[in-house]
Amino acid sequence: MNPLNLRASIANQVRQMTGGKGPPMAFLEPKGDPGLFGPQSMVWQVHAHFVPMLVGGLSSLLMQALHPLALAGVWDHSSFRQDLKARLGRTAFYIASTSYGGREMAMQSIHRVRHIHLAVIGTLPDGTPYRADDPVLLKWVHLGEVLSFLGAYQQFGAVPLASGQDDQYIQEMALLGELLGAEALPHHVSEANWMLQSYRSELVYDERTRSVVDLIENFPCRAIDAPVLKLIIAAAFHLLPEWALLMLGKTPASATEKLFVRHALKLVAKPIDWALDSEGVAAYSRKRVESIIC
């Protein structure tokens, strides 16, 4: 198989894991539009790498599941328990469109999610009310996502961000969180970690949380994807703060296990990054900004 066909084949396998269909042609337009962030941003650098993003996405779901009000929104108003892959696919498109899409595409995705949130209203079994557009809950979800994506990139990405670049990533992502309705978001990694821990008194491990953990640990996939997915799931747990891991009833992994998973995933990521370097969303978006017709 020649290199072009091999790249396309690997990229297609990656898209199948998240429910994507075909090359991301929509990201080629409008020419010259940098979107919300642009090619020089840390967002473009971090979000271009599939393996760390999948690790971070699953880890952030585990974190989100510890907050009963945040979990209730997806528990009562989505089909994620029946089709986790579809849920991840929708999240992946939202991240891709807001990170890499032209400004109109990005804002349309944000407005769509904000509109959906308006209808996500309900009560917990004990009668406690919740609403998905609550800035406090949006902030919790935002913190879990940005710290998980950043942490996964730093551990499993090819070239970690330098000192200061990690703060830049947090600052850039604050713009996205604020557009979605969150308030008073951090602009530094240390501040983000402090804010995340400030929610600990609100967190609960209950039957719903246990169901999410079981679902992620038994993520439905094709047999060919199972070995890699097992590593990714293990890495998602390794990425959690120790206090969150203990809340989930999990024993922290040994340093040897973490090192093995880290090196194994770095090897897995190499051919994927090679393929997506020309076939991924970031690559197509870069062509758009440079006004190159592929």
Q: 205-224: per-residue pLDDT in tens?
A: 999 999 999 999 998 778 88
| Among 2-11, 105-114, 279-288, the least confident range | 2-11
Decide if pLDDT at 294 tops 50.
no
Total count of residues recorded for the chain: 294
Burial of 259 (0-12, 13-18, 19+ CB in 10 A): exposed
Tell me what the mean pLDDT of segment 1-17 comes to: 72
Q: Which of 147, 176, 170, 175 is nearest to 244 (CA)?
A: 147
Tell me what pLDDT residue 13 has.
77
Decide if pLDDT at 246 tops 70.
yes
Tell me what pLDDT residue 277 has.
87
Give the chain's mean pLDDT: 91
DSSP, res 107:
H
Q: How far apart are CA 218 and CA 286, in angstroms?
A: 36
SS3 of residue 126 by DSSP: coil
SS3 of residue 123 by DSSP: strand
Q: If pLDDT is split at 50, 70 and 90, which confidence band does 1 have?
A: low
pTM of the model: 0.93
Per-residue pLDDT of 190-203, as tens digits, reads 999 999 999 999 99
SS3 of residue 75 by DSSP: helix
> What's the sign of the alpha-carbon dihedral 68, 119, 111, 134?
negative
SS3 of residue 44 by DSSP: helix
First to last CA, the chain: 21
Alpha helices for the chain (secondary structure H): 3-17, 42-46, 50-64, 68-77, 84-100, 103-119, 135-156, 165-180, 189-197, 207-217, 226-239, 242-247, 255-279, 281-289
Tell me what the mean pLDDT of segment 72-97 comes to: 83
Decide if pLDDT at 147 tops 70.
yes
Residue at 31: amino acid letter: K
Collect all residues with Cβ–Cβ distance below 8 Å to 116 and sequence separation of at least 6. Answer: 132
DSSP, res 223:
G
Per-residue pLDDT of 122-144, as tens digits, reads 999 999 999 999 999 999 999 99
Per-residue pLDDT of 28-84, as tens digits, reads 999 999 999 999 999 999 999 999 999 999 999 999 999 999 999 888 887 777 677
Tell me what pLDDT residue 19 has.
66
Is the bond preceding 186 in cis, omega lying within 30 degrees of 0? no
Q: Would strands 129-131 and 121-123 be described as parallel, antiparallel, or unpaired?
A: antiparallel
For residue 146 the two structure tokens come to: 């940005």
SS3 of residue 48 by DSSP: coil
For residue 65 the two structure tokens come to: 């599941």
Tell me what pLDDT residue 38 has.
96
Tell me what pLDDT residue 173 has.
98
Q: How far apart are CA 163 and CA 274, in angstroms?
A: 26
For residue 71 the two structure tokens come to: 């979990």
Tell me what pLDDT residue 154 has.
97
